[in-house]
Structure 1
Amino acid sequence: MKNPEIQVRRKPRQSRAKLTQEALQDSFVRLLHERSANKIPIREVTDLAGVGLGTFYEYFSKKEDLIALTIYRHVKNNAEDLKTYAHSLIKLSPNLVLDNYLKLVIHYQLEQIQAQQFLWAQTFLLERQISNIESYRKSYEMMLQMWQSILAPFIQDTEQLKRMSLNVQRICYGFVSQTLLVEPEFGQWKILERDIFHNLNNLIFNKNLLF
């Protein structure tokens, strides 16, 4: 499928307009919990959001634009949630070492993904079908910045921090996205978590891999 640019016709500068756009996104996500995106008509999204079909086209030129924006917001919310959790760990246990800290963060991340497994499986699939390379890079950069924020208390050198963040993202995103793309109903989460930890330990204790 061709990766079109995201075309938001009307930017939600006013609070009411912003709420309307968010309502459309929330409605789409609620429906996406139940079935795949290609089985969700625009009319059903607008009905659930409590707006008319014309209102949809005030903000989006097509359903793909709604999908692309929804994916970005979903990833952003997840990143903010993970950063909040990680920073709370530092406050509660300031003497945590890096490997234990990362294990707790990754465990929390996997729990959140597992709790919405079908939604995440659909998100990874739609990301490949809908998002163009610019949108994908924007989301990927946001995740790298998230990891930099999470790892900053343990790595002061800027270049080392960037490299570590990049490799952690490669491992976590690669393991989870490839798993759910191939097997949306995947159930062996403890094994997946163990495999991710094994590769992260290689990064932490092997300086050649890290730096």
Structure 2
Amino acid sequence: MKYSEINVRRKPRQSRAKLTQEALQESFVRLLHERPANKITIREITDLAGVGLGTFYEYFSKKEDLIALTIHLHVKHNAEQMKTYAQSLMQLSTALDLSAYLQQMIHFQIEQVQGQQFLWAQVFLLERQISSIEIYQKSYAMMVDMWRCILAPFEAEIALDRLALNMQRVCYGFISQTLLIQPEFDDWHILKEDMMMAIHPLSYPHTPR
């Protein structure tokens, strides 16, 4: 069964409550390294987090809500890292052209995914199992917005919305499909080369007519 939205019973407003929710997420991720998500119980999550079962239900109505939130926050964190890196690139070099800029961003994205390969493979798998089309669309739109922000310095040269969408199509498609089929994939330099070839035609200016 897939869920149309992430149902969080209580959003953490105090630092202690936030730490508790983060501890539940971290415990779930740690347990994922031992067994599939459908084999993990709420009791195991709370025991590892060091909280009572009742505490879990203060925040979530079911395990799937915790999983959905964990996926969302992981993707959101990656988007924030990408935007921060893009800003640093623009600050370091004012002469960086669009093609070189996109290559740098692809390289950084590959490094981020490779550094947490197991977790990303699980995220893509669980996304298919847990997320409804509504949740998926919101997540996808968030990533397209990320690319729109990253590409904004070149807005005068490109069709910004179109290129942002296409960059998300390329990056998400190549990486997610690779890890869904081969969770222990290790030919990252080849994948990077293939992604570079795919984005090469996109890197040419194509201002709207």
Coarse TM-score class (shorter-chain normalised): over 0.9
Map of 1:119-138 to 2, 5 A cutoff?
119-138=119-138
Q: Quote the residue 1:50 is aligned against.
A: 50
Residue 74 (structure 1) aligned with residue 74 (structure 2) = yes
Q: Measured at CA, do residues 178 and 100 of structure 1 come closer, stay the same or move farther in structure 2, by a change above 3 Å?
A: same
Aligned to 1:194: 193
Unmatched runs of 5 consecutive residues or more in structure 2: none
Find the aligned partners of 1:146 and 1:19 in 2 and give their Cα distance: 27
> Could you tell me how far 1:4 is from its partner in structure 2?
4.9
- Aligned CA-pair RMSD: 2.0
Q: Taking every aligned residue pair, what percent have the same amino acid on both sides?
A: 67
TM-score of the pair, normalised by structure 2: 0.93
Alignment partners' CA distance in 1, 2:91 and 2:33: 34
* Residues 134-149 of structure 1 aligned to structure 2 (within 5 Å): 134-149=134-149
Change (3 A) 1:83 1:20: same
Output the CA distance in 2 between the equivalents of 1:119 and 1:33.
9
**1:109 maps onto 2:82 in alignment:** no
Cα deviations across residues 97-143 of structure 1 (Å, max 9, x unaligned)? 11111111111110110111111011001001101122111111110
Matched, 1:182 2:181: yes
Report the equivalent of 2:17.
17
Whether the 8 Å contact between 2:144 and 2:168 is mirrored in structure 1 is yes
Whole-Å Cα distance in 1 between the matches of residues 2 and 153 of structure 2? 41
The list of structure 1 runs, each at least 4 consecutive aligned residues, that deviate by more than 4 angstroms after superposition, is none
Asked whether the 8 Å contact 2:151–2:164 carries over to 1, the reply is: yes
3-state DSSP class of the match of 2:149? Answer: helix
SS of 2:154's equivalent in the other structure is coil
Please give the secondary structure, in 2, of the residue aligned with 1:153.
helix
Contact map agreement 2:4 2:135 (CA 8 A) in 1 = no
Distance 2:120 2:78 in 1: 11
Deviation, structure 1 residue 11: 2.2
Partner Cα separation in structure 2 for residue 153 and residue 25 of structure 1: 36
Tell me if the contact between 1:4 and 1:130 (Cα under 8 Å) persists in the aligned partners: no
Which residue of structure 2 lines up, in the alignment, with residue 150 of structure 1?
Answer: 150
With the length of structure 1 as denominator, give the TM-score of the two structures: 0.92
TM alignment of 1:57-68, pairs within 5 A: 57-68=57-68
CA contact (8 A) 1:3 1:129 kept: no
Query: How many residues of Structure 1 are paired with residues of Structure 2 in the alignment?
Result: 209
CA-CA distance at 1:39 after TM superposition: 2.7
Output the amino acid matched with 2:74.
H
